[in-house]
Amino acid sequence: MKELNIREMRAAIGQLDKLVDEAGEIIVRRRGRAIARILPIAGTRRRPNHADLRARTPRLTTPSAELIRAERDER
């Protein structure tokens, strides 16, 4: 955890991302009183891999345009 006052934070605004990476948390103080806490975002979620689902899904033998045309003709 690192503590900065307002003046230090303004001077280091360009490096806040690096400071958060290094310290893990930054407390911003004004006149000795904590006014803000800057935290890193919790681990980003990866998108799920749906390759196994795609492999199990059967391929269409009839083109979708023909299926849509047949559906419309039935109406």
For residue 30, tell me if it sits in a domain.
yes
How many domains in the chain?
1
Whole-number Å distance between alpha carbons of 63 and 71? 13
For residue 32, tell me if it sits in a domain.
yes
Q: Long-range contacts made by residues 22-25, C-beta under 8 angstroms, separation at least 24?
A: 25/1
For the CA atoms of 8, 13, 14, 19, the dihedral, rounded to the nearest 10 degrees, stands at: 70
For residue 57, tell me if it sits in a domain.
no
For residue 21, tell me if it sits in a domain.
yes
Indicate yes or no: pTM above 0.75.
no
Q: Compute the mean pLDDT over every residue in the chain, rounded to the nearest whole number.
A: 90
Q: How confident is the model at residue 37 (pLDDT cuts 50, 70, 90)?
A: very high
According to the model, what pLDDT value does residue 44 have? Answer: 64
Q: Which residue segment(s) compose the domain that 26 sits in?
A: 2-38
CB-facing half-sphere around the CA of 75: CA atoms within 13 A: 4
Nearest to 26 by CA among 5, 7, 45: 5
For residue 69, tell me if it sits in a domain.
no
The stretch 22-50 carries a mean pLDDT of 88
